[in-house]
Amino acid sequence: MNDTPAYVADRNSLLKDLEHFINDHLSEGKKLAILLININHFRQINVIYGYQSADILLEEFVHRLKKLSREQDYIARVGNSEFIMVLPEILNEGHVTLAANKLLSCLNTPFSFGDSNHKVIADMGIALFPDHAIDIQGLIQKAELALLDARSSAKSYSIYKKKSQQVDFYNWDIEDELRNAQERDEFELFFQPQVNLQTGKLFGAEALIRWNNREKGRIRPDLFIPIAEESGQIHSITWWTINAALRLIKDWPETLPPLQVSVNLSAKVLSDPELVHSVRSALSIWGAKPEQLTLEVTESALMEDMDTSFITLDELRSFGLNISIDDFGTGYSSMAYFKYIPANELKIDQSFIRYMLDNEMDQHIVKTVIEMAHGFDIKVVAEGIENEETYNSLKELGCDIAQGYFLAKPMPQDEFIQWLKNYQS
């Protein structure tokens, strides 16, 4: 078994070690697996329970991993909460699956830090040599992609798949297709209801874009939005979204309760000097009240250029628009900048909501965020609620607004109006 202590490995010696493994396997025609393991919500553990507790957790985590490892396995810490493991001489994917399950079983027993026991969750991304890449950078990159996949689904580990969308889109000019999408009328806006947790009444809806491409069918927004951001097309897509959302507000049946719609703004749009002017003119064209529109900005977008984004958001707030901080808890700012954040709403990231019933620590984080937000007169939205137990538990914690599959999935405008009519009756 390897004796690497739980410090962050020096990059050069890490790469040398990994290179050594690869060369060994290259000459002998064997397979090996690279595992990237990330402890969830480690930053929050640091903030809430203190650095000493976080260090105890890390030591114990490594100790448990090592206990479950074979003599020849290698483990190193590569980031605050990220570890890399090399499993040499793997026979096939089934073998890796067994190993992944066994290693993750180290989390079955709660960890003891602070003054109680806590259930800890980790995600794992796996890539195989030579199946997925034959060089170390390539393998790490594939393991990172698999880790992202594990994180965005409810799986605890994921093995890199060649047939993932990244590869499907190889040779397909997504940028070019995106450019034509608006002309061809391929975008559609879906709406996911948000309900006031305390009264059970409709609060509003989040507008989520869908792209129905004539060749590839429906393409997920988390795949094409980053490409639109890079190519600059995100600006026109955002204006399309804002206009479509305002159209819904204008066409909203008077017999239904008033509606507030949230639209997502990416970092690129937040730093657009025309933003304030454009939003104001869109509101006046559609004759909508600023209070009916919420702009969602992720915590990480906000932090990219904090000074400028705070000024912009303050300006938008000053004429009545709602500002919501999306995916709250996943970025760097969280607690430190809390009181300065120019927002009247924050959305706790789904990753905290998903496990909160089984995970005392996530529940503690959710509770702390709700209390702090209320202290600053900020509403809290819980997103990703998938069952009634979670809904009730959030209600008890005093959370303000609920959103998630438990209530409804995002749907086209007509279906949304129909859903609301059924929901009310």
Binding site for Ca ion (CB under 5 A): 264, 296, 326-327
- Compute the least distance from the CB of residue 374 to ligand C2E, in Å: 22
Q: Which two tokens mark 214?
A: 């004539």
**Shortest Cβ distance from residue 347 to Ca ion (Å)?**
5
Backbone phi, then psi, for 252, in 5-degree steps? Answer: -65, 125
Q: Of the two residues 241 and 334, which places its CB atom closer to ligand C2E in the complex?
A: 241
CB of 246 to Ca ion, least distance (A): 17
For residue 170, the SS3 value is coil
222 binds, among Ca ion, ligand C2E, none (CB under 5 to 8 A by kind): ligand C2E
CA–CA distance, 189 with 405 (Å, rounded to integer):
17
* Distances, alpha carbon 166 to alpha carbons 68, 170, 197, 209, 227, in Å: 33, 7, 38, 20, 12
User: Please, what is the angle between helix 42-49 and helix 360-375, to 10°?
Assistant: 70
Least distance in angstroms from the C-beta of 233 to ligand C2E: 11
Of 185, 44, 28, nearest to 120 by C-alpha is 44
Q: Are 122 and 156 in contact, with CB atoms under 8 Å apart?
A: yes
Token reading at 208: 């989520």
Query: What's the min distance (Å) between Cβ of 266 and Ca ion?
Result: 10
Name residue 212's amino acid: N
266 binds, among Ca ion, ligand C2E, none (CB under 5 to 8 A by kind): ligand C2E
Residues 95-124 that bind ligand C2E (CB under 6 A): none
State the binding string over 394-423 for ligand C2E (x if CB under 6 A, else -): ----------xx----x-------------
C-alpha closest to that of 322 among 338, 304, 344: 344
Task: Please identify, using beta-carbon distances, which residue of 22 and 401 lies nearer to ligand C2E.
Answer: 401
Residue 80 structure tokens: 């605050």
The residues in 370-399 that bind ligand C2E, with binding defined as CB under 6 A, are 383-386
Site for ligand C2E in 244-303 (CB under 6 A): 264, 266
Per-residue exposure over 133-147, b if at least 16 CB sit within 10 Å of its own CB, e if not: beebeebbebbbbbb
Task: State how far the Cα of 174 lies from the Cα of 360, in Å rounded to an integer.
Answer: 43
Shortest Cβ distance from residue 347 to ligand C2E (Å)?
Answer: 7
Judged by beta carbon, residue 74 or residue 355, the one nearer Ca ion is: 355
Which residue lies nearer to ligand C2E by CB, 15 or 303?
303
Considering the complex, state which of residue 69 and residue 192 has its C-beta at the smaller distance from ligand C2E.
192
Residue 110's binding partner out of ligand C2E, Ca ion, none, with CB under 5 to 8 Å set by partner kind: none
Q: Please say which residue, 53 or 264, places its beta carbon nearer to ligand C2E.
A: 264
DSSP state of 414: H
d(CA 412, CA 414): 6
- Whether the bond between 88 and the residue before it is cis, its omega within 30 degrees of 0, is no
Query: Which lies closer to ligand C2E via its Cβ, residue 65 or residue 301?
Result: 301
| Cα 186 to the center of its chain, rounded Å | 25
> Looking at beta carbons only, is 69 or 390 nearer to ligand C2E?
390
The option from Ca ion, ligand C2E, none interacting with 305 (CB < 5 to 8 A, set by class) reads: none
Which entry of ligand C2E, Ca ion, none binds 334, CB below 5 to 8 A by partner kind? none
Question: 124-143: which residues touch ligand C2E (CB under 6 A)?
Answer: none
Total binding residues for ligand C2E by CB under 6 A? 19
User: Contact at 8 Å (CB) between 351 and 323?
Assistant: no
Is 40 a binding residue for ligand C2E by CB under 6 A? The answer is no
Residues 302-341 that bind ligand C2E (CB under 6 A): 326-327
CB of 261 to ligand C2E, least distance (A): 11
Residue 329 β-bridge partners? none
Within 10 angstroms of residue 233's Cβ, the number of other Cβ atoms is 19
Q: Are strands 261-265 and 293-298 parallel, antiparallel or unpaired?
A: parallel
By CB under 6 A, the residues from 167 to 226 that bind ligand C2E are 192, 208-209, 220-222, 225
Separation of alpha carbons 16 and 167, rounded Å: 29
The item of ligand C2E, Ca ion, none sharing an interface with residue 149, based on CB under 5 to 8 Å by kind, is none
231/176 Cα distance (integer angstroms): 10
CB of 159 to Ca ion, least distance (A): 26
**Where along the sequence are the contacts to ligand C2E (CB under 6 A)?**
192, 208-209, 220-222, 225, 241, 264, 266, 326-327, 383-386, 404-405, 410
